[in-house]
Chains A and B, each alone.
Chain A
Amino acid sequence: MRRAKSGDMGAFEELVNRHERRVYSLARRILRHEHDAEDVTQQTLLSAVEHLPEFREEASFATWLLRIATHAALKMLRKRRGLPTVSLEQAAEPADDEGTIPHPEFIADWRENPLVLAQQAETRRLLDEALNELDEKHRLVFLLRDVEGLSVRETAEALELSEANVKVRLLRARLQLRERLTRAFGDESKRLQPHAHAP
């Protein structure tokens, strides 16, 4: 990083080689469109060149890049819809994050452990499909927090949301994905009925 900041292009390219796939993947998962994801990746990395001298290293380089990519992707989403640029917080329906937490319905141990499942080609398709079924606001929070591993605070900053809001959305996202994946991976013969889950 120090070498890159002093103008060493080779050092910068090493950083790009290390992080470009994460940037592209995040953009692709937010936008669900290959060419838009390319545009966002390009904007992000060009912006990184432009602003590298200002990078303070308070966050990791990866987190910094992901934040730039998130902003660019959100801007593109809004442009697509022809909406003026407003933060997610403002755009959200206030009542959306209130109310009760959805209860788990399909409760069962999974037939295989995640290590085995991860090696199956079918799993990747299923994970992407499940993610795509989430509302955008839940998908964004889950992508940054659980797929990219940002902290709650970093996720809140990147999406311009409060930490409390991130937590509520994350819980809904995780519960919805759990439900979806358990329907696919759960062992029907070990299913526990929802009524057994009542207090």
Chain B
Amino acid sequence: MKCDQLLALLNDYVDGDVDPALCEEFEKHLAGCNPCQVVVDNIRKTITLYRGGQPYELPLRFRERLHGMLRERWKQKFPGADSSKSS
């Protein structure tokens, strides 16, 4: 396997989705190619950082308005349901 071929399989490899036979070749190349090792490591870290990112908070006034609207719509949609448990 060459660097280019490794690059094409990069996603499947980091997602644990690569064919076992190819995986062996991939790792064989990786063991002897320092730049490819670093690229794979960089990619994993990139994904880790984005996955671990915190979501944005809803602006408070928008959130209050939104929840009010949802309660109204809920009452229209489920008029007979018990809504006393709502906060």
Contact = CB atoms under 8 A, between A and B. Distances in A.
A188 interface: no
Contacts of A171: 8, 10-11
Contact of B53 (A38, A42, A103, A127): A127
Chain A interface residue bracket vs B: 35 or more
Interface string A47-85: 001101000000000000000000000000000000000
Interface of B: 2-4, 7-8, 10-11, 33-36, 38-39, 41-43, 45-59, 62-63, 66-67, 69-71, 73-75, 77-78, 80-83, 85-87
A192 B46 contact: no
Residues of B contacting A: mostly: helix
Interface of A: 6-13, 16, 20-22, 24-25, 28, 34, 38, 41-42, 45-46, 49-50, 52, 101, 103-104, 107-110, 113-114, 117-118, 123-124, 127, 131, 142, 146-147, 149, 167, 170-171, 174-175, 177-178, 181-182, 186, 192, 196-199
B40 to A, nearest CB: 10
Contacts of B77: 49-50, 52
